[in-house]
Amino acid sequence: MEWKAIPKFFTFIRNYSILGLLLLAFISFFYFRLYDYLTINTIKNYQAAAQAWTNSHYFLAVSLYILIYAILIACAIPCATFFTLLGGYLFGSIAIIYAVFSTTFGGMILFLTIRTSIGCHIAAKSTGWIKKVEHGFRQNAFNYILTLRLMPIFPCWISNIAAGMLSVPLNIFLGATVLGILPATIIYVLAGRSLDKILENNATPILDIILSPSVILPLIGLAVLSLVPVIYKNVKKTD
């Protein structure tokens, strides 16, 4: 190995080592079927013990909640609905702040990891139509990310990875993320607050409520509105 190649080798190791760890955690999560625990039944089975422990060790419970939530988001594991509901159940309305911070911080880790590895490679190698797509996305990055965040049918890891691959500026990513996840977070946390009553009375399943048209359609409407400036800009260019 030539001396000039050594710095490049260490840069490659640095950029891809964190990505490798996140990928390993992602594979392990599904291999050991840990997703079986991210269900409403888990909350139902341990609700009394979880609530009692949270009341006795509040700050530790909040710290663990934020840490675990952020790590799972960084590993691209679809867990936002479960953890936001859980936060509302355990902590009440203040969980809106905890959930937004966890999702944003975890998403930032994945975003930066992708941007400094795959994103750098794409930026260096992209040509032709790929370069045009990248340029178009970055020009309207805030609106595109905001739309992906607002649309509940898109897992949050999609926008984290897409923004990283296209080397979106960090401040735009963070701003669009916070604004985009806030509406759904508020809805899920408020639903989580009444989770114990719903479970006790065997009422309509909580997921049926939060995924109902009365909840989903307004979020889709907000997502469409977030694209209006982009559409207007493109129409104006063609005139």
Among 195, 198, 197, CA closest to 91: 195
Number of domains into which the chain is organized = 1
Joined together, the tokens standing for residue 214 give 């009365």
Give pLDDT tens digits for 15-33: 788 999 999 999 999 999 9
User: Which pLDDT value is given to residue 26?
Assistant: 96
User: Which pLDDT value is given to residue 77?
Assistant: 96
User: Which pLDDT value is given to residue 56?
Assistant: 97
**Is 50 exceeded by the pLDDT of residue 1?**
no
The rounded distance, in Å, linking the Cα atoms of 155 and 80 is: 8
Give the mean pLDDT of 168-177.
Answer: 95
**Is 90 exceeded by the pLDDT of residue 170?**
yes
Number of residues assigned to the chain: 239
Average pLDDT for the chain = 82
**Is 70 exceeded by the pLDDT of residue 202?**
no
Q: List, in sequence order, the alpha helices (H) in 93-212.
A: 95-114, 120-125, 128-139, 141-150, 156-165, 170-193, 195-200, 206-210
Q: Are 119 and 167 in contact (CB under 8 A)?
A: yes
Give pLDDT tens digits for 130-153: 666 677 777 888 988 988 888 867
- Going by pLDDT thresholds of 50, 70 and 90, the confidence category of residue 120 is confident
Q: How far is CA 172 from the centre of its chain?
A: 15
- Going by pLDDT thresholds of 50, 70 and 90, the confidence category of residue 232 is very low
CA angle, 118 then 120 then 157, to 5°: 40
Query: Which range is least confidently modeled, 7-21, 52-66, 78-92?
Result: 7-21
Q: How far is CA 212 from the centre of its chain?
A: 21
**Which of residues 184 and 109 earns the better pLDDT score?**
109
The b-or-e profile of 82-103 (16+ CB within 10 A means b, else e) is bbbbbbbbbbeeebbebbbebb
Which residue range(s) make up the domain with 96? 5-238
